A and B are shown apart, each in its own frame.
Chain A
């Protein structure tokens, strides 16, 4: 018995994050080989999932460490997408270096410059908002729902700001149409999606390394696990919180840009609407669990994409919502456990 338990704990420890995700991806692709599932939708779902994952990892870290549902997370994404638009179509174009159609992609190298710049700007913004709003609320020790409420105000104000500066019309990064890659099994991949997946993987690995290999990451995981215990063990909570905002905002900003590339347009409401899949992924994976969020993102992304085979595609958010509700009924703490 004890050996059995030993083995099972060892497997769980060894298997935990990376392997589970690999397993889910393999399962998803295997599902694509089922005769009644279109492989193209599965592949598309994986790309969508990589964007959901970036948003959800940040959201779940904020959720776990700062202990509130950041309703403004979607609007951080919107902000990222529009700041990048400003850099690409405003600043860089003004210098006279307008270009699009880099290699096989629809966008040009300005977007590559814009991504890190935008991430830095949005991260600074997030830290500023924390200093002005959230830090005070933390010091007052208000109810977590009040903090979420404040983030709702931030969400509205941010969207208003986006609409003031960039209008509420649909916009786009400068783009050149490009041939999609044709693969067997009727899979069509726009080259941009490969870029999206690449950026998402790089960032996910970076966050993974940060969380597992650095002292700050260890402190963050400890705080997410048990904030009080972390505090009494001498972890500097203020720094942990600052880094959480930086990571969350960077991931959100990049996710926003990638979403704009993925759907080939920007609208101010894009981030608010994306909250549903984001929260669904977070709940699925267990609140405060970044690996869970990653796995949850894959489940939500692939399932909602595959569902379009039978259901009207505009119901995708409703499908994500339904999966989340089903999860809450069966396992409220999520697939991998988290703060219940």
Chain B
């Protein structure tokens, strides 16, 4: 356990959080959708990937769940490059997309904050579902034995480095995709909706459709983040997805880094996760996890009041003809 392996572990978590932060940036940063139930998509993505790839329950281990997809063991999915891993991620993304479609379809026609209330409700419902339905995911005992990327090919002490590569690759791919999406005319409509919904509607844009697409895309990215998380910690229990570490911290990350800016979203994830994990080594009041809890809330309020754009702020985008 030296500095380098600690740094690798840190970077993996920060990278996974950066994925969530990117997803939230589509919701809030670009479109102005107020999602306070990130934990719901987090849990859904993580559990979907885990359940599809984990071995079926072992009666000797007193496991209560009934279904394990066992993708990591099925040969035809292997193809030599651990394709199952990416199929699991895709499945997690699809699951979150479907839930987002349902929630968005009901609430996005209504005033903005109904979405917030609905996401809050869905997060709690998802948590309660995985807690109470032991047959689905082993209830509060949690799912363990979640397979590793590349299985036993990598020795445990080197797994973090390999996995860090996977997380960063996914993060970079998502960053490029989101960047392109938000720079495109489609992204411009989202920003128009955020700034003035009525004006966007008046210029002939179907505001509901665009909002729904943005909500689904953000949720899909969150599902990917959840799947990455599942194969990193390789243990999931409903308590993993408490609002603090699965919703609030991600909000602080986006707000600090700069909402509306994808680079800011990633920077914020690394910065806030650095503050969160770093301060626990400081003496005094910082040792108290509750103080850090308080700090996250205070951070959000301070950013809104003092520097609403966060560290990086949103890039100003103007048509070429308007410049100068």
Contacts and interface: CB of A to CB of B under 8 A. Distances in A.
A320 to B, nearest CB: 8
Contacts of A321: 118, 121-122, 124-125
Contacts of A276: 120-121, 124
A285 B26 CA distance: 32
A259 to B, nearest CB: 17
Given A160-B294, A314-B132, A150 B124 contact: no
B300 A152 contact: yes
A152 B293 CA distance: 13
A159 interface: yes
A152 B252 CA distance: 10
A153 B121 contact: no
Nearest to A311: B132
B124 A158 contact: no
A318 interface: yes
B169 interface: no
Contacts of B270: none
A133 interface: yes
B107 interface: yes
A149 B28 CA distance: 10
A275 B292 CA distance: 23
A137 B306 CA distance: 11
Counting chain A CB atoms within 10 Å of each CB, the highest count among B291, B293, B296 belongs to: B293
A156 B297 contact: yes
B243 interface: yes
Contacts of B107: 328
A146 B121 CA distance: 20
Nearest to A145: B34
A255 interface: no
A164 interface: yes
B275 interface: no
Interface stretch (B5-13, B108-116, B155-163, B227-235): B108-116
A334 B294 CA distance: 35
Interface string B20-41: 0000000010001010100000
Interface in A148-183: 148-150, 152-161, 163-164, 167-168
B298 interface: yes
A309 B253 CA distance: 42
Contact of B291 (A142, A164, A287, A328): A164
B170 interface: no
A69 interface: yes
Interface string A317-334: 110110011001100100
Dominant secondary structure at the B interface: helix
B64 to A, nearest CB: 15
Interface in B94-131: 106-107, 109-114, 116-118, 120-122, 124-125, 128-129, 131
A272 interface: yes
A121 B314 CA distance: 40
Given A153-B297, A157-B294, A158-B297, A69 B243 contact: no
A312 interface: yes
A161 B300 CA distance: 15
Interface string A263-274: 000000000110
A325 B131 CA distance: 22
B320 interface: no
B117 A279 contact: yes
Contact of A328 (B34, B106, B132): B106
A56 to B, nearest CB: 12
Given A148-B113, A149-B34, A153-B300, A163 B293 contact: yes
B61 interface: no
B295 A68 contact: no
A339 interface: yes
A157 B36 contact: no
Interface in A176-214: none
B297 A149 contact: no
Contacts of B304: 137, 146, 149-150, 153
Contacts of B128: 314-315, 317-318
Counting chain A CB atoms within 10 Å of each CB, the highest count among B109, B111, B113, B122 belongs to: B113
Contact of B131 (A68, A150, A153, A314): A314
A239 interface: no
Counting chain A CB atoms within 10 Å of each CB, the highest count among B129, B131, B305 belongs to: B305
B300 A69 contact: no
B112 A145 contact: yes
Counting chain A CB atoms within 10 Å of each CB, the highest count among B117, B305, B308 belongs to: B117
Contacts of B114: 283, 328, 332
Contacts of A317: 121, 124-125, 128
Given A146-B308, A148-B116, A149-B28, 13 more contacts: A69-B117, A71-B120, A153-B298, A155-B297, A156-B294, A158-B297, A160-B293, A160-B298, A164-B294, A279-B121, A318-B124, A324-B118, A332-B114
21 contacts: A71-B116, A133-B305, A143-B194, A145-B32, A148-B113, A149-B251, A152-B297, A153-B298, A156-B244, A159-B297, A160-B298, A163-B293, A164-B291, A279-B120, A283-B114, A283-B117, A318-B125, A320-B121, A321-B121, A328-B118, A332-B109
Interface of B: 28, 32, 34, 36, 106-107, 109-114, 116-118, 120-122, 124-125, 128-129, 131-132, 194, 243-244, 248, 251, 255, 288, 290-301, 304-305, 308
